[in-house]
Amino acid sequence: MKSTGQTRWGLAIAGWAVALGMFFPILWMFLTSFKTEITAVATPPAVFFHPTLENYFAVLERADYLAFARNSVAVSLGSTLLALALAIPAAYSMAFFPTRRTRDILLWMISTKMLPAVGVLVPIYLLWRDFGLLDTLFGLILIDSLSVLPIVVWMLFSYFREVPAVILEASRMDGATQAEELFHVLLPLCTPGIAATALLSIILCWNEAFWSLNLATVKAATLTAFTASFSSPEGLFWAKLSAASTLSIAPILIFGWISQRQMVRGLSFGAVK
């Protein structure tokens, strides 16, 4: 198909429309966080208003933002590291020593993501309670890493498969043990892919709400719990909720923005050969 000027314009407009549609709620939340509670619920919605920081002061006064943020950082980094530590050997084995069952195992792993998490809430809750993991950082790290594990394995598997097996064989001939082969050859070769995987995992864990809300309450509560605490059943304070949400997603948005180049490079990676 020849791309004429017209179709190009059409595609550009469609692209922008989709991007705007996806971004609009975040923009609106950001704007709302600077409104008073009255203007926040005004109909028709106020587009022009006097910005105020009072919501941020109120939110920060009511809750210890930094404590939640610290937990979020610890949980998302910890889960990602744990997931990578488990997934790297798994993906290595499946990519370079496949058996007749490898495909099935991959499908089975990803199929666990098709089950709603609430389906296993009771058994997980009881296990966590009996092992003393409720409301602990380690407990959250463990459950979050398990929940991102299938995606991490899948992504690493597809990056590893891009590496010609003969390069690993060459390192074996050069005297490398399996661990040396992994650390000196495979992982350095797949750095962009591993970075993209890690970034995605960090983002997923940062935004993970279900387990954080159900398995942690105070000590290990993350920013999702912090945000949720402003959405109370006895009446919503939209402006304060928006301020809390903005504070919760700001770090990961900035982080994502800084790392977007790495991310795109990793996601479209595939040229080792």
- Contact set with another protein (CB under 8 A): 164, 166-167, 169-177, 180, 184-185, 188-189, 272
In the DSSP assignment, the letter for residue 45 is: P
CB–CB of 94/157 below 8 Å? Answer: yes
CB closer to another protein out of 134 and 185? 185
Query: Hey, is 179 helix, strand or coil?
Result: helix
Interhelix angle for 238-258 vs 54-62, to 10°? Answer: 90
C-alpha distances out from residue 213 to 7, 82, 262, Å: 47, 21, 31
Q: Give the residue with the Cβ less far from another protein, 167 or 213.
A: 167
The candidate with the shortest Cα–Cα distance to 144, out of 165, 163, 174, 124, is: 124
Give min distance, CB of 84 to another protein, in A.
Answer: 19
**Residue closer to another protein (CB basis): 66 or 173:** 173
> Considering beta carbons, is residue 51 or 188 the nearer one to another protein?
188
CB of 272 to another protein, least distance (A): 6
Smallest Cα–Cα separation from 196: which of 165, 162, 222, 223? 162
Q: CB 173 → another protein: shortest distance, Å?
A: 4
Question: With respect to another protein, which residue has the nearer C-beta, 176 or 267?
Answer: 176
* Residue nearer to another protein on the CB measure, 21 or 175: 175
Distances (CA, A) of 190 to 85, 88, 264: 15, 11, 14
Shortest Å distance, C-beta 40 to another protein: 53
Nearest distance from residue 172's CB to another protein, in Å?
A: 5
CA 133/CA 85 separation, integer angstroms: 21
Smallest distance, another protein to C-beta of residue 201, A: 23
Residue type, 6: Q
In sequence order, the 6+-apart residues with CB closer than 8 A to the CB of 159 are 91, 190, 193, 194, 197, 266, 269
